Structure 1
Amino acid sequence: MSNLLLATVSNTFRHLLRPIPLLTWFGLDISTLDCVAALRLCVVLRQLRDVAFKDYLESSNEDDRKGVEEKSCMKSIAITLVVVYGGEAVMSVSPSFVFSPVVPALYAALTSLVEISPWLPAMSFKTEFPLSFFDGISRAFLLCQLIPPVVTAHSQPAIASSAWTLLLTSMIAANGGFFLVNLFSMLRPTGWALATPAELRAYGWTTIDIWCAPAITALYALLTHAQPFWAELHAMLATPGKN
């Protein structure tokens, strides 16, 4: 039974990673996972903006509401791109969008599509729980396939072999974008302003997203021996009686 489940998940994952045939005609190497993950992010950001707008209306008076900014599609696109590329900016590496406009154009197009939608379902357990399984798949792909090669293939051996660099890169790349969004209050309806990010507030360090990124990357590195440290650690854990 477990083998059948594993095979089903593996086959589904391979199918999601296949380039979309229609887009390959135009020379675009975009997979189903890329499109669905991008659409999921755009929808979540729209839902978060709607929640922030609703909360502001409920907690403000008529005079305060005059400060609400008019909705802007370009602003929404900018916020989406900050989430996607913010981690790269924090680490001061060459952002991937300078090498190809395909991915930022995909996010921009999907953000525009979501913004003109007259209605989206509100966040609830009934909608978020089923989608959490896809979120796990897309998150795992980011943390296991996209981020580790940035470190392990680095030209400097000290960085390529550093387990600390691998974990730190995973945490920053996966969370840096939302950290900047919260830092500048980009989802507020009254405009951007500096604020303490939720991650730095009381008990903010308990946020699951912060720790799951390096934890998943560490598990992947441990099982695949991505660096010498992880190979030695795996050997030590596999043969504890010989140490």
Structure 2
Amino acid sequence: MSELLLQPFLEGYRALLQPVAPLAWFGLSFTYLDVAAAFRLCVGLRQLREHLHREHVAKTGQAGPEVEPRSLVRDASATLLVVYGGEAAAAAGLGVPPSFMLSGTVPAFYAAIQAAVNYLPSVPTPRLSTELPTAVLDGFARAFLLCTLIPPMVLQHPWPAVQDSPWTLLVTSFLITNGGFLLVNAFSFLQPYALTFATPPELLPYGWTTTDLWCAPLVTALYALLTHAQPFWAGAHAVALGWLGAGPVGAEAVAAVDPESARATCAAVLAVLFTTRAYKNFGSAEIKVPVAEKTKVQ
């Protein structure tokens, strides 16, 4: 039954992880998931910038900080900071070089996508009808990051103490996923005015409830639990089965789930979380619109 439920996610990954043919002709190994995730991020950042601009003008008018002209350099810098800011912090803590120091291909790719998005005449305003499909894409992209890209930084570390540390795995996942956005918000990169140091929303009251903040270590923990990525997780898997009524189970008797199925499970969990968030943020507003319009007509 579980395999049947995961089949759409397994097949989705097999399709999305195929190399994009035109790029492969030039020796660039970008997949459809890479391209879709990059466009999703760059469009989302433009939507945030435009929302903050409207909000700033509506609240302050001419009395607030002066609105600065946007530049591609600032927007591309914000995008690269989102993508690599957390990795730079985690890599420094782990004592390994971050990926952007080894190759400039991916940074150039993100900068090019951001330039293309900037020159679009417009992007859709976020609403339920657009956010629900992208919530599923976000689930695929975020699970790939949390299950395929991040764990090897810890599991293949030259120090055995780091390899076997579940705490290091969770902290690395948290930093890489959230560090970039924390820095972008701290330095007001997306605001329409000059760069100003400010408290990120995640550090304000109830900022910890932000889905992106806590889902990263949670999903990496789920992936490690299912795949027995470290010795700790094999024992935790056995304990979890005991709590679920399977009786006393030894860690050596619990079979690990294959990485593809575990990643598909994580993608399904994230798709549900992001879909719930989209409905919470945009669903009620869209439901209220027809009622308001009907009242106005009457």
With structure 1 as the length reference, what TM-score do the two structures score? 0.95
- Residue 106 of structure 2 is aligned with which of 91, 98, 103? 103
**Which letter maps to 1:13?**
Y
> Which protein, 1 or 2, shows the higher relative CO under an 8 Å CA cutoff with sep ≥ 6?
2
Residue 109 of structure 1 and its aligned partner are, at CA, apart by: 0.6
1:134-170 Cα offsets, whole Å, 9 max, x none, are: 1011011100010011101100000010000001110
Residues 200/63 of structure 1: CA separation in 2 closer, same or farther (3 Å cut): closer
Show the counterpart of 2:85: 86
Show the counterpart of 2:166: 163
Residue 16 of structure 1 and its aligned partner are, at CA, apart by: 0.6
Distance in 2 between the 1:163 and 1:53 partners?
A: 41
**Which letter maps to 1:199?**
E
3-state DSSP of counterpart to 1:242: coil
Structure 1: segments with no counterpart, 5+ residues: none
1:205-228 Cα offsets, whole Å, 9 max, x none, are: 121111100000000000000000
Distance in 1 between the 2:172 and 2:9 partners?
A: 27
With structure 2 as the length reference, what TM-score do the two structures score? 0.78
Residues 8/202 of structure 1: CA separation in 2 closer, same or farther (3 Å cut): closer
Root mean square deviation of aligned Cα:
1.6
Summarize the alignment of residues 1-243 of structure 1 with structure 2, pairs less than 5 Å apart.
3-64=3-64, 67-91=66-90, 92=92, 93-239=96-242, 241-242=247-248
After superposing the two structures, state which structure 1 stretch, 39-48 or 95-104, moved more. 95-104
Distance in 2 between the 1:147 and 1:7 partners?
A: 24
Distance in 2 between the 1:87 and 1:3 partners?
A: 34
Distance in 1 between the 2:23 and 2:60 partners?
A: 47
Distance in 2 between the 1:107 and 1:179 partners?
A: 19
Residue 71 of structure 1 and its aligned partner are, at CA, apart by: 1.2
Distance in 2 between the 1:3 and 1:163 partners?
A: 27
Residue 193 of structure 1 and its aligned partner are, at CA, apart by: 0.6
Distance in 2 between the 1:80 and 1:198 partners?
A: 18
Distance in 2 between the 1:136 and 1:151 partners?
A: 22
Show the counterpart of 2:292: none
Residues 219/85 of structure 1: CA separation in 2 closer, same or farther (3 Å cut): same
State the number of aligned residues.
242
Residue 2 of structure 1 and its aligned partner are, at CA, apart by: 6.0
1:33-55 Cα offsets, whole Å, 9 max, x none, are: 00110010000000000001001
**Which letter maps to 1:192?**
L
Query: Percent same amino acid among aligned pairs?
Result: 51
Structure 2: segments with no counterpart, 5+ residues: 250-298
Residue 239 of structure 1 and its aligned partner are, at CA, apart by: 4.2
Q: Conserved in 2, the CA contact under 8 Å of 1:88 and 1:94?
A: no
